[in-house]
Structure 1
Amino acid sequence: MLEYRSAAGRWVLLATVLGSSLAFIDATVVNIALSEIGRELGADSAGLQWTVNGYALSLASLVLLGGSLSDRFGRRRVFLGGVAWFAVASLLCGLAPTVELLIAARILQGIGGALLTPGALAILEASFTREDRPKAIGAWSGLAGIGGALGPFLGGWLVQSGSWRLIFLINVPVAAVVLWVAWRHVPESRNPSAARTFDVAGLLLGAAGLGGLTYGFTAWPEHGPGDPVVLASLAAGVAGMVTFVLVERRSAHPMLPLRIFRSRAFRGANLVTFLVYAANGGVFLLVVVNLQVVAGFSPLASGVALLPVTVLMLLLSARAGALGQRIGPRIPMTAGPLVCAAALAWLSRIGAGASYTADVLPPVILFGLGLCLLVAPLTATALGALDDSYAGIASGVNNAVARAAGLLAVAVLPLAAGLGSGSLTDPGALAPVYRTAMLVCAGLMTAGGVLAWLLIPDRLSAHTPVKTFCDPCSPPVHPADTADADRSGSR
C-alpha cells in the first residue's frame, strides 16, 4: 500500500488526475467550439446539440459498467484501456470530416470516459493506505477541479488561435503521458471473488435505463416535460432501471451486487451525493447566467466569477480529507452542506447592478469553503463504506448518482422555480426564477447536511486492505473473499 507523500503515491495521483481531467474537460470544452464546428462542417442546431449530448449519453449510460469491469478485470487494466480508447476517439473527433462522424466519435469518447472515470477513484482507494486515502482523494478533487476550470480557457485559446480540432487532438499527447505513468507506476488490484462471466442482461438493462434517463433529462429543457420523446425516454429509463434491479437480484454474478446497499454509510453517502450534486448542477448553471443577464457582467467576468471555488478546492481539499480521516466523516459532511446552503441564500440576492467584490465574491468564497469541507469526505465515504474489493463499482455508482442529479437539476430546476414559458435571456423573467432556484438549491444542501448527520457514522469500519503489485506480468492479487464482502455489505 502506498503513502500519500511517497514518490510512488505522487505518480499514482498524477496518473489519476490527468486521466480524470481528460473526461471532465471534454464534457464542457466542446461548447466553446460549437459555432466554429457548425461553420466548418455545416452542422445544424440538432447536429451541434448531439455533439454535446452524445458524449454525456454514452458516459452516463456505461459508467456503472466501467466500475464493474475494473473490479473484475483489474482497476489499472480497465483505466489504461479507457485512456487508450479515449485517445483514439479524440483523434477521430479531431479528424472528423462531417458532423455525423464527429457525433459518432463523441459517443466513442464517452465510452472511454465511462471506463476511465470510475477506475481513477478505484485506483486511489485500492493503492493508498487507509490513513492516506482521504488525503489522496482530497488532492485528486482539488487538482482535477483545476483541470476542469482551466479547460475552457485552454479550449478558447486553441479555438481562437488555431482550430476547433485542436481541443480534441491535444488529448492524444496528454493521454500518452497518462498511459506511460500508469503503466510504469500504478499498481494493479481487483476483486478475485468477482466472476469472470459477463452479466449481459445487467449490462443491457443498466445502459438502457441510465441512457433513457440521461436522454430524457437532457432533452427536457429544450423540448419541455410534455414532449412525447422526453416522456418516452424517461419512461423507458425508469422501466429499464426497475427491470435492472429485478434482474440483478436474481443473477448469480450481477454487474451490480445489490448487497452493497446493505451498508447504511454507502446508502447515506449516495443520497447526500444526489442532493448536493443536484444543488451544484443548478448553481453552476444559473449563477453564471444570472451574472450575465441580470447583473450585466461580461461573459468573461461571469465565467471567472466562480473561479475562487476551484482555487479553494485546490488549496484545501487534501486538508479536508485529512480532517475527515481524523475526526470522522459525519461532522464535515454535515457542516459542509450547511455552509453551502448559507452561501446560496446569500447568492440568491445578486441582482441588477451587483458588484463582484461586494456582492458576489464573499458568498462564492463561503460556498467554496463549504464544498471543501464536503467533497473529499463524501467521496472517501462513498468508496470507503464498502470492502476494498468493491472500489470500482462503488465509484461507478457514486459517479452515476452525481451525473443523474446534475442532469435532473438542469432540466427541472428552472421549471420548478417558476420559469414557465419565460426565457433565461430575459432579465425580467430570470431574476425571480434565479432567486427561487438558489433558495431551492439551499434547501437541497440543507437536506443533504441533515441526511449526513442521520446516516453517516462517526467512523467507517476497517476493511481488509488490498495487496497491490507493480509487475505487469504478475496476476492481480487481492486477499478479500466473498465472506469479507458480505460482512462489509451488512454494516
Structure 2
Amino acid sequence: MDIRLSSGTGRWIVFTTVLGSGMALLDSTVVNVALPHIGEDLGADMADLQWTVNAYMLTLAGLILLGGALGDRYGRRKVFVVGVVWFGLASLLCGIAPNAGVLIAARALQGIGGALLTPGSLALIQASFHQDDRAKAVGLWSGFGGVGAAIGPFVGGWLVDGPGWRWVFLLNVPLAALCVPVALRHVPESRDEAAHGRFDVLGAFLGAAGLGLVTYALIAEAWWPGALGFAVGAAFVLVERRRGETAMVPPSVFASRLFTAVNLVTLCVYAALSGFFFLAALQLQVVSGYSALAAGTALLPTTVLMLLFSPKAGELGEKIGPRIPLTVGPLLCAGGMVLMLRVGEDASYVWDVLPAMVVLGLGLTILVAPLTATVLASVDVARSGLASGINNAAARAAGLLAVAALPALAGMGPEAYRSAEEFGETFLKAMPMCAGLMVAGAVLAWATVRVPAGEADCHPECKVHCGVTAPPLDPGDRSSRGEGL
C-alpha cells in the first residue's frame, strides 16, 4: 500500500498500532512494581508471584511466532484486533481476580492476546505506508514505544499507590475499547499473499509445554516435571527437524554460526535482565521501604537513557561493528547489578540506587541496538522477520526461566518477600548470579561475534525501541514464520 504519513489515515494507523502494542509493553513493565501488593491482597506466596510474571511470559514466548504467521495468512488487522480484544478481556479478568490462581490463569490468557497483537502492530505499519514514509512511521512507532517503556514503572507505581494494583490491569480495558473501533475504521487490511500451507501448531504446543514444565520444576523445586519438560523439548526439536523449512523454527536458520552465537548472547543477557527487574522491584519495596511509586520511579533512568541514546549507539555499532558493543554493554550491565548490592535498608536513592540504574542503563543503551542489528545481519534478508521473531522468543523464554530459577538458587522461601531480613539476604546472593549471566554473555560475544563494520545495519525500530523485556521485533518477510510453505 502507499499510504502517506501526512494523511489522516496514516496518523490513525500510527496511533492505533502504538496504542495496541503499548498495552502489552506497559503490562510487561508495570506488573513487577505491583507484586508485593498483589501478594498481600491475595495471600500469595513467592511461587504465586513468580507465576504472576511467568504465566504471561510463557504463553507470549511460546506463541508469538505463530501469532505473526496467523496475521500474515488471515489478515494482519484482523489478528491484531482479535489480539487487542483478547488482551482487554484477559486484563479485565486479571483486575477482578479473587485469588492468585485466577490471576495466574488470566495472565496466561493475556500472553495469548499479546502474542496475537505484538507482531501485528509493526507489521501493519510496514505493510501500509508508502516506501518513502515507512522508516519515519516505524521511527514514530518505536519512539512512542520507548516513551511507554520509560513511563511504565512510574505509571504502575502511581496506580498501585492510588486506586490499587487491580488498575494496573483494568487500565487496559478502556485502551482496548478505544483501539478496536479505530483499527476497524482507519487501518487497512493486509496479508501476505504468498503465505500458505499448514501452521506448525504442534511445534508451538510442544515448545510452550516444554517451557511450562521446566518452569514449574524450577519454581516447585521438583525434578520430575523438569525431566518431562526436557523430554517434551526433545520432541519439539525432532518435530521441527522433521518439518524442515515448514517448521515454526526451521533448523536450517541455525546453520548460521553468527545467528546461533548471538542468540546464546541473548539468552544470557535477557535472563539476567528479567531476573534483575523482578527482584529489584521487590527489594526496593520490601527491604528499602520504598512505596510502589518510588520504586517505579527509581527504575526510570534505565529506559530514559535507552530512549535518548540508543540511536547513537546504533550508529556507533554500524561504524565499529557489533563485537565491542556486545562485549562492553553486558559488562557495564553486570557492573550496575553489582552496584545494587549497596541497596539495602533505608537505601539512599541518589547515592545507592541511581548509580546502579545509570550504569545499567548505559550498558543496555550500548547493547540492545547492535544485538538486534546483528541478528538481522546473520541471515538472508528474506528471513529477517523469522530471525527477529526467534530472537524475541528466545529472550522471553530466557526471562521466564530466570524468574523461575533465581529465587530457588538464592534460597528464597515461600514467604521471603514478607520478611525484609530474609529477602535482603537472598537478594545479595541473587545479584551476583545476574551479573554472572551478563559476564557470560560478554565472553560469548567477544569469542563468537564476527561481523565487519557496516554490515550490521540498524533498522529504525532497533535503534529506538527500549528492549528491556525482549529485543524489538522486525517483521521482515514472515511468510515462513510458524507455517508451512
* Pairwise TM-score range, normalised by the shorter structure: 0.7 to 0.9
Residue matched to 2:433: 440
Gap regions ≥5 residues in structure 1: 464-477, 483-491
Paired residue secondary structure (2:160): helix
**Which of residues 145, 149, 152 is equivalent to 1:148?**
152
- TM-score, normalised relative to structure 1: 0.74
Residue matched to 1:469: none
- The one-letter amino acid of 1:264's match is R
Q: How much does 1:29 deviate?
A: 5.0
Q: Is the 8 A contact 1:135 1:318 kept in 2?
A: no
**Which of residues 443, 446, 451 is equivalent to 1:457?**
451
Q: How much does 1:2 deviate?
A: 9.5
Q: Is the 8 A contact 1:17 1:140 kept in 2?
A: yes
Q: Is the 8 A contact 2:216 2:225 kept in 1?
A: yes
Cα distance, 1:36–1:138 mapped onto 2, change above 3 Å: closer
Q: Is the 8 A contact 1:281 1:406 kept in 2?
A: yes
Task: Trace 1:20-59 onto structure 2 (pairs within 5 A).
Answer: 20-27=21-28, 32=34, 45=44, 54-59=55-60
1:403 aligns with 2:404: no
Residue matched to 1:199: 200
Root-mean-square deviation (CA, aligned residues, Å) is: 4.4
Provide the identity percentage: 48
Q: How much does 1:302 deviate?
A: 3.4
CA distance in 2, matches of 1:151, 1:244: 39
Residue matched to 1:170: 171
CA displacement 1:410-436 (0-9 Å, x = unmatched): 232244346589945555544554334
Paired residue secondary structure (2:342): coil
Q: Is the 8 A contact 1:269 1:382 kept in 2?
A: yes
Gap regions ≥5 residues in structure 2: 459-475, 481-485
- The one-letter amino acid of 1:313's match is M
Cα distance, 1:250–1:33 mapped onto 2, change above 3 Å: closer
**Which of residues 281, 306, 310 is equivalent to 1:317?**
310
**Which of residues 273, 288, 293 is equivalent to 1:280?**
273
Residue matched to 1:238: 230
Cα distance, 1:59–1:461 mapped onto 2, change above 3 Å: closer
Q: How much does 1:197 deviate?
A: 1.8
Residue matched to 2:258: 265
Task: Trace 1:272-351 onto structure 2 (pairs within 5 A).
Answer: 272-351=265-344
Q: Is the 8 A contact 1:59 1:114 kept in 2?
A: yes
**Which of residues 334, 352, 357 is equivalent to 1:364?**
357
- TM-score, normalised relative to structure 2: 0.75
CA distance in 2, matches of 1:277, 1:85: 27
CA displacement 1:293-321 (0-9 Å, x = unmatched): 55454554334222211222232234433
Paired residue secondary structure (1:304): helix
Q: Is the 8 A contact 2:322 2:449 kept in 1?
A: no
Residue matched to 2:61: 60
Count of aligned pairs between the two proteins:
453
Cα distance, 1:16–1:369 mapped onto 2, change above 3 Å: farther
Q: How much does 1:168 deviate?
A: 4.2
CA distance in 2, matches of 1:86, 1:5: 28
- The one-letter amino acid of 1:403's match is R
Q: How much does 1:153 deviate?
A: 3.3
Q: Is the 8 A contact 1:205 1:240 kept in 2?
A: yes
Paired residue secondary structure (2:298): coil
Q: Is the 8 A contact 1:135 1:320 kept in 2?
A: no
Q: Which moved more, 1:129-138 or 1:72-81?
A: 129-138
CA displacement 1:388-427 (0-9 Å, x = unmatched): 5445543432232222222222232244346589945555
Q: How much does 1:368 deviate?
A: 0.9
Q: Which moved more, 1:448-457 or 1:29-38?
A: 29-38
- The one-letter amino acid of 2:63's match is L
CA distance in 2, matches of 1:38, 1:443: 32
Q: Which moved more, 1:308-317 or 1:173-182?
A: 173-182
CA displacement 1:300-357 (0-9 Å, x = unmatched): 4334222211222232234433443454433332222122122223332334554221
Cα distance, 1:146–1:456 mapped onto 2, change above 3 Å: farther
- The one-letter amino acid of 1:259's match is S
Q: Which moved more, 1:367-376 or 1:30-39?
A: 30-39
Q: How much does 1:275 deviate?
A: 0.8
Cα distance, 1:376–1:133 mapped onto 2, change above 3 Å: farther
- The one-letter amino acid of 2:354's match is L
Q: How much does 1:367 deviate?
A: 1.2
Residue matched to 1:115: 116
Q: Is the 8 A contact 1:68 1:256 kept in 2?
A: no
- The one-letter amino acid of 1:86's match is F
Q: Is the 8 A contact 1:209 1:238 kept in 2?
A: yes
